[in-house]
């Protein structure tokens, strides 16, 4: 490799990649949770590369299904998610990322993506 060539970036650890059960688009759901309060902040989507970036940078990186591009939370808004821990669920199809959220988690400016209103339970 010449000195002006980009360094090869290793992929996601094969042992982790083998445990993932991706959907038809190659994605797993990623739930962001405030690490100290347990507050559920948002749901995003990750592929192997987004998960690798999240694990290696300490900042949540997601795959945008609408833009078809990677985005690191807070890149433009400043509302950063500092990763504290990452866990894979028992089925391998969901990642739980415990974060320290700086600012709003939702693109609407709300603290969480679930602040828009409760759905009433029927019969209660």
What is the domain range of residue 31?
21-101
What is the pTM assigned to this prediction?
0.86
pLDDT > 70 in the chain, percent? 92
DSSP bridge pairs for 98: 33, 85
- Domain for residue 47, yes or no? yes
Buried b (16+ CB within 10 A) or exposed e, 5-36: eeeeeeebeeebeeebeeeeeebbebbbbbbe
CATH of the domain at 85: 3.10.20.810
Is 64 a member of any domain?
Answer: yes
The tens digit of pLDDT for each residue in 15-61 reads 999 999 999 999 999 999 999 999 999 999 999 999 999 999 999 99
Residue 78 lies in a domain: yes
pLDDT of residue 9: 58
Answer whether residue 120 is part of any domain: no
Domain-located, residue 91: yes
What pLDDT is stored for residue 118 in this prediction? 82
User: Looking at the domain assignment, is residue 108 inside a domain?
Assistant: no
Q: Label residue 116 by pLDDT band (50, 70, 90).
A: confident
Is residue 45 within 8 Å of 27, Cβ to Cβ?
yes
Q: Is residue 27 part of a domain?
A: yes
* For range 87-110, the mean pLDDT: 95
Instruction: Note whether residue 109 is domain-resident.
Output: no
Number of domains in the chain: 1
Q: 70 has which bridge partners? A: 63
Note the pLDDT of residue 1: 34
């Amino acid at each position: 490799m010449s000195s002006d060539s980009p360094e090869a970036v290793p992929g996601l650890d094969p042992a982790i990649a083998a445990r993932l059960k991706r959907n038809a688009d190659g994605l797993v759901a990623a739930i962001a949770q405030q690490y100290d309060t347990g507050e559920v902040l948002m749901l995003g989507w990750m592929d192997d590369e987004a998960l690798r970036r999240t694990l290696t940078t300490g900042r949540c990186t997601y795959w945008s299904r609408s833009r078809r591009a990677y985005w690191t939370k807070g890149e433009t808004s400043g509302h950063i998610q500092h990763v504290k821990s990452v866990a894979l669920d028992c089925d391998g199809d969901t990642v739980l990322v415990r974060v320290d959220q700086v600012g709003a988690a939702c693109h609407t400016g709300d603290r969480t993506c679930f602040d828009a209103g409760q759905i009433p339970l029927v019969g209660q």
